[in-house]
Structures are given as C-alpha cells and as structure tokens.
Amino acid sequence: ADGKIDSEAWGKLQDKEDVLRTYTITKDDVKGSFPDSIPDDFAAMAKMKALSYTSPAELLSEKFHMDIELLRTLNAKADFGKAGEEILVADIGKPAGKEVNRIEVDKTEAVVRAYSSDDLVAAYPATIGSESTPSPSGIMEVEGVARDPQYNYDPQVLHGKHGDEPLVLPPGPNGPVGTVWIELTKETYGIHGTPTPDAIGREESSGCVRLTNWDAEELADLVKPGTKVAFIED
C-alpha cells in the first residue's frame, strides 16, 4: 500500500514453481500441412484451403503461449519438426475452470476481465477499437461461440479496407479472427482470436475485441449464450 516492498511483500511474491518445463513433441504437433507463408492480401487468402500455422514452431509457440523467438532461443538446437524431440517450454499451468457469468471489456485499460459472480476468474490483455472504428458501448450478451471459424469479409462494414468485393476466407489460426469467434448480440461485433499475438494491446482493431488465440479459446470454454458483456471506459 505504501509503495515499498518489505519482507512481507517479498514473501507473498515467492513462487516455488518453475516457470519452464520440458515437453516432448508429438506426431500431432508435426503432422499438419504448413504453408510457407500467409499472404497479406485478403483475395489471396480466400484462395487458400486453410490459413494454417506456417511451421511446427509457430504451432508450439502458441500451444505454450510463447513468442516464437523465445521458443527458438530456448531451444537453439532443436528440430521442431521432429516427433520425439524434447524441448523447453513455458509452464502455462491449468486453465481457468469456473463458468463465467459476466465479462468486462475495459476500453481504457485494454483488458478483458471475466467474472464468476464477484470473483475475478481471468484477465486478458486485448486489442480494442480505435477512434475511427470504435468498439461498442453498453451491455450486451454472448450469442454463441464458433470454433475454427471462416471469415466473411464485408467491404461495407470495413469501409473497403481490403477491397470492394465480399470474400469468404478459410478457417485457421492465421485467419483474421484466429481460432475462435465469440458472437455478441450487437450485429457484426465479437470477441475473437488473432494471427498476430505479439500485437495484442499494441494496435487498434476494427471495433471488435481481439485476444490471443489461446486466451480466446479459454474464454470460449467459460461462457455460454446469455453471458453478460459490458463495455466500460473511464
């Protein structure tokens, strides 16, 4: 409370659990079809079968909530495409397990908070709308959850940002909404994943609420239709 870290505060900050652990790469981790790259152009994306991970290393970095360069640095000699290879990864612990009945989207702090009654279950860094394409205000509800969704580009909604023609982009973690879309009761708005987890909280969205894929997936497991979602700002 006084801003000074004393022995009592240090004691509460001690954590005897390791932040890293070993992991053995599985056949499932490396069996996918990995394109060399994902184009930036939506029309080119629409021609692909899936917007998949571009490498086993990218898949593993998201699986363990890590920046891909950190994963590579910790495992400089590892072959990420080889099943049976043992690597060092972040110990991400257990996912939040309580059902959520209330979500706050804090537009000022760029964070999404999930509550079970008055108990804070989880807090996720988020990318939220800009001045030109603001996120909505007020209270709405979760309408439903779509996992591994395709993306329907509507040039009227996004003011022709990616061309003048409507497009249907295939699903995949490198798609515009990532691996999960949590539909809200306000039309065209949702909480979703992202192909660029390193940009969360550092850029602005087109009005929706953007989380890392792993956070969006966890939140999707905690909500149900009717869960309240309040957009707040100071």
Q: Residue 62 and residue 92: Cα distance in Å, rounded?
A: 11
Please state, in angstroms and rounded to a whole number, the distance separating the CA atoms of residues 232 and 135: 10
Beta strands of the chain (E only): which ranges?
A: 20-24, 86-90, 102-106, 111-116, 119-125, 138-147, 151-153, 167-169, 180-184, 190-192, 209-210, 228-232
Which residue type occupies 176? P
- The Cα–Cα gap between 44 and 174 comes to 13
For residue 65, indicate whether it is catalytic.
no
Radius of gyration of the chain (CA): 19
Q: Is 192 a catalytic residue?
A: yes
49-82 burial, b if ≥16 CB within 10 A, otherwise e? ebbbbbbbbbbbbbbbbbebeebbeebeebebee
Classified as helix, coil or strand, 82 is: coil
Residue 147 vs residues 29, 140, 169, 177: alpha-carbon distances, Å: 19, 21, 14, 10
- Among residues 65, 159, 162, 208, the one annotated as catalytic is 208
Q: Is the Cβ–Cβ distance between 161 and 152 less than 8 Å?
A: no
Q: For the chain, what is the largest distance between any 2 Cα atoms, rounded to a whole number of angstroms?
A: 62
Any idea which residues carry the catalytic annotation? 192, 208
